[in-house]
């Protein structure tokens, strides 16, 4: 059996278990899916285990955190497998046509943070956690903590293997990338970094979460600022975090 086929088989089994979770989903879930402001779309594309595109809207699933698409995990025999690709495959099985998503926020990348429901009212976010294909993202919400505890106790999905939590995986990757980057010395007295990204023009203050990992490219229109007032006057927004 090839690797891709194995992933699909695993995804099918875990998605089936997750659908069983739907029978325990409170009726209010179906009501939430039709609330004003819900997002619908005929086009549906799964990006990874916690991100999808519905219509023209890029959506980050609220309250959960799945392995990065490139992430690998160890199994009980010490072999490595593509847990990030597997998590995506589970979401592809759960996110069926007719999906609707109830927005809750916009993240720093401009994505809509939402809870998504299948046509029967099943909370897809919760189903991903129930299938052991995603963690409860307790940094931002505690909605799915009990669901994760059940999956963990039953050794479902990721809980059968040696998995680095996605947040730690991203932090380690950033640290590795940062260590390989050349040091940039700001102009004297002008240490604020004006960066241009998919989220627009953002400025980063020294000590901020993304400051050390941000590199300024004047050729791309990026620049240093001497004060927040200068950055705001030039049309930049303060980065979150």
Q: What is the number of domains present in the chain?
A: 2
> What's 118's domain CATH number?
2.40.50.90
Tokens (6 digits) for 171: 């932090």
Domain-terminating residue out of 115, 138, 166: 166
Are 106 and 113 in contact, with CB atoms under 8 Å apart? yes
For every one of its 241 residues, what pLDDT tens digit does the chain have, with 9 covering 90 and above?
444 444 444 545 555 555 555 444 443 333 344 555 788 888 999 999 999 999 999 999 999 999 999 899 887 777 888 999 999 999 999 998 899 999 999 988 889 999 999 999 999 999 999 999 999 999 999 999 999 999 999 999 999 887 888 888 887 776 676 566 677 888 889 999 999 887 789 999 998 888 887 888 888 899 999 999 999 999 999 987 6
Domain-terminating residue out of 131, 166, 201: 166
Note whether 123 and 72 are same-domain residues: yes
Are 166 and 176 in contact, with CB atoms under 8 Å apart? no
Q: Is residue 54 a part of any domain in this protein?
A: yes
φ/ψ (deg, to 5) at 59: -120, 130
Note whether 104 and 212 are same-domain residues: no
Q: CB-based burial of residue 180 (10 Å sphere; 0-12 exposed, 13-18 middle, 19+ buried)?
A: exposed
Domain that holds residue 61: 3-166
* pLDDT tens-place string over residues 122-149: 999 999 999 999 999 999 999 999 999 9
């Amino acid at each position: 059996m090839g690797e891709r086929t194995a992933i699909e088989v695993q995804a099918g089994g875990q998605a089936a278990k997750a659908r069983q979770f739907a029978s325990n989903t409170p009726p209010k879930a179906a009501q939430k899916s039709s609330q004003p402001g819900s997002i619908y779309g005929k086009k549906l594309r799964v990006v990874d285990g916690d991100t999808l595109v519905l219509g023209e809207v890029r959506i980050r699933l609220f309250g959960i955190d799945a392995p990065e698409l490139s992430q690998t995990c160890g199994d009980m025999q010490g072999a490595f497998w593509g847990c990030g690709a597997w998590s995506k495959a589970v979401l592809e099985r759960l996110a069926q046509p007719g999906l609707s998503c109830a927005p809750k926020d916009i993240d720093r990348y401009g994505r809509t943070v939402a809870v998504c429901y299948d046509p029967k009212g099943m909370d897809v976010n919760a189903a991903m956690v129930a299938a052991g294909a995603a963690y409860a993202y307790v940094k931002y919400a505690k909605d799915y903590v009990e669901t994760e505890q059940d999956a963990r106790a039953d050794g479902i999905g990721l809980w059968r293997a040696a998995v680095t939590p996605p947040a730690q995986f991203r932090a380690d990757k950033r640290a590795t990338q940062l260590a390989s980057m050349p040091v940039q010395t700001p102009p004297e007295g002008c240490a604020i970094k004006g960066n241009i990204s998919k989220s627009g023009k953002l400025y980063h203050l020294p000590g901020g979460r993304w400051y050390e990992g941000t590199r300024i490219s004047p050729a791309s229109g990026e620049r240093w600022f001497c004060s927040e007032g200068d950055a705001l006057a030039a049309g930049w927004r303060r980065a979150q975090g």
